[in-house]
Amino acid sequence: MTSFFVAVLAFSSVAHAADAPKTQPAGPAKADPAKGEALYTNGDAARNITACVSCHGAAGASTISANPKLGGQHAAYIHKQLTNFQGADRSNPIMSPLAKLLTDDEMKNIAAYLDAQPAKPGAAKDKDSLALGKKIYRGGIAEKSVPACAGCHSPNGAGIPAQFPRIGGQHQDYTVTELTNFRSGARKNGPMMATIAKRMSDDEIKAVADYIAGLR
């Protein structure tokens, strides 16, 4: 009898163990825009992390034409760029050292904060090149196999989340610099853009960059 009761108890323990709820593995931490805002606005002096606001403006509304506007930019794109700044694909004397001090969660937090901010509009400045810029953006340059920018970045420059960045309203100077960097190979984290930029002249780059600045 004793062995019978032992067997019953053992079976019961196994049955209860099988019925017990299984612990699910923890998923990735959700991005925290509030923490992102704090780091963006104040930096972290203890780790020599400069406040992003000093170069990119409050809420990402940069007023310095050499520094990109980041408000309203897709979180996935910002996270990708910060990650690229940590490696060799995108080297910058200011951004690379700063990005290397950030954890992956911090980059995601900053990206989530900026994604939630309003995009600051801009304006085209060169009336003489406006028609050329519009033509390139909307229709590309067929004879050079340059596709229409609108195909990836959308007609109003809003881009496609997690695929292509928002570029509408971006500073002309910044866009010119980045297209030129893609063309020269100085910027290596966009093979498609490098191929396209290599087929464009300085005047074509400046014209489309100015047109992009006026998109909204």
Instruction: Could you list the residues known to form a binding site for heme c, using ranges.
Output: 52, 55-56, 95, 149, 152-153, 193
Kindly tell me the burial class for residue 109, based on how many C-beta atoms sit within 10 Å of its own C-beta (0-12, 13-18, 19 or more): buried
Q: Dihedral angle at the C-alpha atoms of 161, 165, 171, 172, nearest 10 degrees? A: -140
What is the DSSP secondary structure assignment for residue 144, as one 8-state letter? Answer: G
Cα dist. 57→140, 146, 160 in Å? 32, 33, 24
* Known binding residues: 52, 55-56, 95, 149, 152-153, 193
Beta bridge partners of 90: 187
Please answer whether residues 29 and 109 qualify as being in contact, where contact means their C-beta atoms are separated by less than 8 angstroms: no
The SS3 assignment for 141 reads: strand
Amino acid at the residue 46: A
Distance CA 7, CA 170 (A): 74
